[in-house]
């Protein structure tokens, strides 16, 4: 085991040599590692969260800091060098910004500066260039905001310029793995929070190999999905036959059209015997357009959610939406499984509004004598 109390690190010219000490007698060296010219200070600490001691060296003539990650058996991984200020004389390891990841600091004598090299997680909002070269690498990007926002697109552009791919962690636990298209030539993929956590845990233990492949799914024709046909016929009724084809053109009117279209699709779907099942009448789960959007390659919940945040149901434990949830930012009730966020962002968008409208129509139809 790599024991700090029995470690002596000696820097000689451009080699870093690690000598184990047992009592007063030095044994054979664990190893020698090439670092940039004139290393002057070495420190040992935890850099990557794997619980093993790592080594950092500052080299004054080359204006750089080099770190070597510990393996746990007295040896170190290959050196990684970072540029810092002029004539660094001291190096330290610590969590400067409190994000849980160790940072690397150097005191630069000639430039009268201190350089802070951020830890393994780079905050997207800080608009990197990245501290390390990402050429040929796949990046794990953690983000708590909604997918496809500006900071992720910015990261995508930078990754494309440097010849790598990126995995974006989903902003909430209900969104699974899905391909992401930013219009760039490099591959991008959004992964579930559980998959991202597993990858991050593995990264803290060392190199992780990830392969990104694309497998074409079966393209299902929406024109033969009768639920979609019924939904679009609802648009014909509520839009094209109203106001000389002007229809319901304001946002709330558009949302009503979406909800009514779903309602017509549900009329095609339900069966009379559904009312006699245990629980409230028609308390099962009903969707619209699931056949066309179901993915033949990637497991999904298309037949539960389809294109809406909740399935349609008279059971509020499955669909808690009411008319108040067409208001932008009105938080959605926690509890029932949801496709998306509880924040209420997008409530006022026509498809977001269509869900509560269709649900209200569903409830009204069930309550009718």
pLDDT over 80 (residue 81): yes
For residue 163, what pLDDT is reported? 62
Model confidence pLDDT, tens digit, residues 59-74: 999 999 988 888 777 7
Answer whether residue 10 shows pLDDT above 90: no
The pLDDT score that the predictor gives to residue 54 is 87
Per-residue model confidence (pLDDT) at position 253: 85
Nearest CA to 18 among 31, 35, 1?
A: 31
Digit-coded pLDDT (tens) for 118-165? 764 333 333 444 545 666 777 777 655 554 454 566 566 666 666 667
């Amino acid at each position: 085991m790599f024991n700090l109390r029995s470690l002596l690190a000696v820097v000689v010219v451009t080699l870093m040599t690690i000598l184990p000490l047992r009592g007063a007698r030095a044994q054979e060296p664990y190893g020698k590692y090439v670092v940039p010219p004139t290393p002057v200070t070495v420190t040992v600490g935890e850099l990557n969260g794997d619980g093993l001691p790592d080594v950092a060296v500052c080299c004054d003539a080359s204006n750089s800091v080099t770190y070597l990650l510990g393996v746990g058996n007295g040896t170190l991984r290959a050196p990684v060098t970072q540029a810092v200020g002029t004539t660094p004389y001291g190096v330290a390891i610590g969590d400067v910004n409190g994000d849980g990841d160790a940072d690397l600091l150097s005191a630069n004598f000639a430039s009268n500066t201190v350089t802070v090299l951020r830890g393994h997680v780079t905050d997207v909002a800080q608009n990197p260039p990245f501290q390390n070269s990402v050429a040929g690498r796949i990046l794990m990007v953690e983000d708590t905001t909604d997918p496809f926002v500006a900071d992720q697109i910015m990261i995508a552009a930078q990754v494309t310029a440097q010849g790598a791919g990126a995995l974006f962690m989903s902003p909430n636990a209900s969104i699974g793995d899905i391909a992401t298209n930013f219009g760039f030539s490099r591959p991008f993929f959004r992964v579930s929070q559980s998959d991202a956590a597993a990858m991050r845990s593995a990264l803290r233990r060392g190199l992780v190999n990830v392969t990104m492949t694309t497998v074409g799914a079966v393209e299902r024709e929406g024109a033969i999905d009768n639920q979609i046909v019924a939904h679009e016929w609802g648009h014909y009724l509520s839009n094209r036959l109203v106001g000389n084809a002007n229809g319901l053109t304001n946002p709330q009117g558009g949302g009503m059209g979406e909800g009514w279209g779903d309602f017509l699709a549900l009329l095609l779907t339900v069966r009379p015997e559904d009312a006699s099942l245990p629980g409230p009448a028609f308390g099962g789960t009903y969707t619209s357009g699931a056949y066309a959007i179901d993915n033949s390659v990637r497991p999904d919940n298309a037949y539960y959610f389809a294109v809406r945040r909740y399935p349609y149901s008279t059971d509020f434990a499955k669909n808690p939406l009411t008319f108040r949830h067409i208001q932008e930012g009105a938080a959605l009730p926690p509890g029932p499984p949801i496709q998306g966020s509880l924040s209420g962002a997008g409530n006022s968008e026509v498809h977001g509004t269509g869900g509560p409208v269709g649900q209200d129509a569903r409830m009204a139809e069930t309550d009718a004598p």
